[in-house]
Structure 1
Amino acid sequence: MKRRFTLGFLMLLLVLIAAFSRPTYHYPAPAELRQKAHYLERIIRTPESESTELNALGNAEWSLFSMSYSVYAFTNMAQLDSTFRPEAAHYTQLAIGKMLAGSIARAFRNPNASVAADSVTSVLYLGHLNLMLGCHRLLAPDSPYKALHDSLSATLHRRLATAPNHCLESYPGGVWLPDNTVALASLQLHSDLTNSPYRAFCQQWVVYARQHLTDPATGLLLSKPTTHHQEAEEPRGSHLGWSIFFLYRFAPAYAAEQYRRYQEQFSTNLGVIRLYRERAGQYETSEGDIDSGPLILGCSIPANAFALGNAVALRDWRNAQRLRRVISFGSREVTTPQELYYRVRFVDLSVSPLAEALLLHAETMTPWHVRRTSGTP
């Protein structure tokens, strides 16, 4: 009897695992997505002096990412639901306004300069700003930012083409590959919109990256290249997931290859869920650092959240569902008539606008279908 019970329990367990492992990921319903977008729009629209959520971040970089990833999410949503396009364009213009003025601009720009590209060396700021400008141009062909988008794209292309490692600094002396993939995605989008020649450089960059910017042991993109100011840094989960987001926009085949290697080297498949580590082969539990956050047996929250977006982008529905379960386990929804946002499950902690924007972007990843506009040939 005991043996029969054990066999029955094991069969039931296998059935449950098989059921939970089916490729059941679906994009959230349009009504749910709009509630999430309304939350982010409120954050963007609120004046800085009154925005407790953004001020709580205490970091201009994280505020920048809250703006940029919100825009990428809105652009995804407009592709999934064309009726959302006017709202997406409006929300994107509000976010660009925050990028061009206020604390984000002051952190990265010379306030006395008249043109953003003239006053900034940070690819972190310029890359995200340029991609946001491209998103607005995609959403609103009559965008008032066309001239700025053209000039900033030309500046980024010129600087990247002549830079050591074909990578620019995010901060003085600091070069990160993920930030440069954003700039490259912005150049690809400019080419898609205007037929400018920058897409050719994006493909040349991929060839260069395969030869000079990858870890020979894993074939994965480094987090940092070697420069006069820094040593190369190994591939990291939070950085790889970020890079794959933007490789997908200008080199989808390379993104798929990096995703496969990332999965092989950094993840553990537990059937109903899949967990991603911050570093290959490491299982430490520690406070981590500013990029990874706390590590639990080597796993980081960003590595898993970004992997969700990678899986959705590359249509790996089975893995996307496994990763969505991990995120759902640690969060709970808060709904109002207009908004939907998250709080941490089990403890009374809010989730930052940055995390909300990153998650909405990840769970809506989709191709951007471009209607070509006039621009720099």
Structure 2
Amino acid sequence: MRRFLGLLVAVAISAAAALSVVRLVAPADGDSGVRRQLAFLRSELESGGADDAQQLFPEGYFFSYVLYGLTAVDLGRLDDARWALSRLESDAGRAPFAGDMPVQYGIFYRGWVNWLRGGILARQPAASRDPAQVQAFERDSADIAAGFDASPTPFLPSYPGQAWPVDSTVAVASLRLHDKLLSPAYDVTVIRWLANVQARLDPATQLIPHTANVDTGEPTSGAQGTSQSIINRFLPEIDPEFARQQYTRFRTWFLSAPLGVGPTVREYPAGTDGPSNVDSGPLVLGVSLSATVVTIGAAKLHGDDTLAAGLARFGEVAGLPFYTPGTKRYVFGAYPIGDAFLAWSKAAQPWVATPAIEPPSRALSRWWQLPLLTLFLAVGLAPWLLAAALRRRRRPA
């Protein structure tokens, strides 16, 4: 019996190692896998998953629905996207964003909602667009632009007295989307915003900072991976040249492979460390799993196909995907908000920038998989080598 149990354990270990090898070298599933993720996420949302996410961080409810809606737009599932938008425009969707701010409900709420609404409109022929939604998109775009035009800083508050530049980046991208879909109106606003941003970069990295003074826009903290991954997802939609410069610096400062295992994305620039937070999640050797996931989408929009594929394949190994009939979830579905970010990243495609901007000159090395393949080979062979060594040791002289 002991021998039989030992054999089962050995087979299980080797099978897990072989499965990891397959997931590492095979292309990550595309839209079909994302659709299965959306099926899982829809069931979670209908069961109160957004309220559960709200207990984890202040924008948990909002991100659960907005990421579901944005991914649905990328897949052409507009009914699902409209359903998500209706939840965001409810009292529950707006609840965390009360307070007196230049743009009502803050630039975080207004920017992401405007981007989602614009994406829904972009997927429809002009003649079939809902006039009420077009009017709302026009109104919200005008409010956002007026907020930037009247502000001495390019970084409007997301909450009273608090400004995160990433949120303003999303909002400005929505103005670019407006000008692509409807009558161009905000080119001057966007050009002024870009100039003001470039005058307020993080001195250490020359990247857009993580937080900024709400009155002046001057950086109050340096660049961080969780915000940089989203910023670099949206900058190509705003200005391809500035986006290329920022993405090159982001890659230099944040892409890493600790202990030879990667690719991954750090939360803090290379050579520095700091505490984890609700956005980054626990940091392992300086790596933020959330920033690593979101960078898949940023890499796709920058034409960095080798990095996008590498990050996605690494995620198929580290994320422990679990399949049921019709659904797919990671880490056995324990953190649906993580599935939402991953689905949004894997489905990424440009909404304004056409074509995608020029890819970076330095591709991800084809040898990045070698350390992991060596590890999986060693793990897969270890039970059999150990058993052979024990048999040899027991053999009579």
- TM-score, normalized by the shorter chain, greater than 0.5: yes
Q: Would you say the 8 A contact 2:94–2:105 is kept in 1?
A: no
- In 1: Cα distance, 2:221 partner to 2:317 partner: 32
1:367 corresponds to which residue? 350
- In 1: Cα distance, 2:90 partner to 2:102 partner: 15
Residue type at the aligned position of 2:203: P
1:374 corresponds to which residue? none
Change (3 A) 1:43 1:138: farther
Instruction: Tell me how far 1:243 sits from its aligned partner.
Output: 0.8
Do residues 71 (structure 1) and 58 (structure 2) align?
no
- In 2: Cα distance, 1:34 partner to 1:361 partner: 11
2:269 corresponds to which residue? 280
Q: 5 Å matches for 1:158-237?
A: 158-210=146-198, 212-228=199-215, 232-237=220-225
For residues 250-308 of structure 1, the C-alpha deviation after alignment (integer angstroms, 9 at most, x for no partner) is: 22332222111011112225777322211113465x86112221112211112211222
For residues 162-221 of structure 1, the C-alpha deviation after alignment (integer angstroms, 9 at most, x for no partner) is: 1121221011110010011110111111111102312342233222211x2212332211
- In 1: Cα distance, 2:343 partner to 2:158 partner: 25
1:290 corresponds to which residue? 278
Change (3 A) 1:25 1:329: closer
1:131 corresponds to which residue? 115
Change (3 A) 1:119 1:259: closer
Instruction: Tell me how far 1:236 sits from its aligned partner.
Output: 0.7
SS of 2:161 mapped into structure 1 = coil
Q: 5 Å matches for 1:1-377?
A: 28-44=29-45, 46=46, 50-52=47-49, 54-58=51-55, 59-77=57-75, 85=76, 88-109=77-98, 120-140=104-124, 141-143=128-130, 144-210=132-198, 212-228=199-215, 232-269=220-257, 273-282=262-271, 284=273, 288-343=276-331, 350-352=334-336, 354-368=337-351
For residues 33-89 of structure 1, the C-alpha deviation after alignment (integer angstroms, 9 at most, x for no partner) is: 322222233344x2xxx4146425414511111211222222222xxxxxxx3xx21
Residue type at the aligned position of 1:55: D
- In 2: Cα distance, 1:29 partner to 1:305 partner: 15
Q: Would you say the 8 A contact 2:74–2:347 is kept in 1?
A: yes
Change (3 A) 1:53 1:335: farther
For residues 135-174 of structure 1, the C-alpha deviation after alignment (integer angstroms, 9 at most, x for no partner) is: 1211234234111111111000000111121221011110
- In 1: Cα distance, 2:59 partner to 2:188 partner: 30
- In 1: Cα distance, 2:225 partner to 2:310 partner: 17
Q: Would you say the 8 A contact 2:40–2:329 is kept in 1?
A: yes
Q: CA RMSD in A?
A: 2.9
Change (3 A) 1:25 1:247: farther
- In 1: Cα distance, 2:191 partner to 2:223 partner: 21
- In 1: Cα distance, 2:214 partner to 2:54 partner: 30
For residues 294-338 of structure 1, the C-alpha deviation after alignment (integer angstroms, 9 at most, x for no partner) is: 112211112211222211221212212322233223212222322
Instruction: Tell me how far 1:32 sits from its aligned partner.
Output: 2.4
Change (3 A) 1:183 1:251: same
- In 1: Cα distance, 2:228 partner to 2:251 partner: 10
Instruction: Tell me how far 1:119 sits from its aligned partner.
Output: 8.3
Moved more, 50-59 or 213-222: 50-59
SS of 2:220 mapped into structure 1 = coil
- In 1: Cα distance, 2:82 partner to 2:215 partner: 38
- In 2: Cα distance, 1:335 partner to 1:363 partner: 17
Instruction: Tell me how far 1:244 sits from its aligned partner.
Output: 0.9
Change (3 A) 1:301 1:272: closer
Percent of residue pairs bearing the same amino acid type: 23
For residues 99-141 of structure 1, the C-alpha deviation after alignment (integer angstroms, 9 at most, x for no partner) is: 111422233258xxxxxx9982411111111111111211234
Q: Would you say the 8 A contact 1:214–1:221 is kept in 2?
A: yes
Change (3 A) 1:209 1:160: same
| Structure 1 spans left out of the alignment, 5+ residues | 1-19, 78-84, 111-116, 371-377
Q: Would you say the 8 A contact 1:238–1:291 is kept in 2?
A: yes
Size of the alignment, in residue pairs? 324
Larger radius of gyration: 2
Change (3 A) 1:332 1:273: same
Residue type at the aligned position of 1:360: A
Q: Would you say the 8 A contact 1:209–1:221 is kept in 2?
A: yes
- In 1: Cα distance, 2:352 partner to 2:223 partner: 31
SS of 2:72 mapped into structure 1 = helix
Change (3 A) 1:288 1:109: closer
- In 2: Cα distance, 1:55 partner to 1:127 partner: 24
- In 1: Cα distance, 2:28 partner to 2:195 partner: 33
| Structure 2 spans left out of the alignment, 5+ residues | 1-20, 354-397
- In 2: Cα distance, 1:106 partner to 1:121 partner: 9
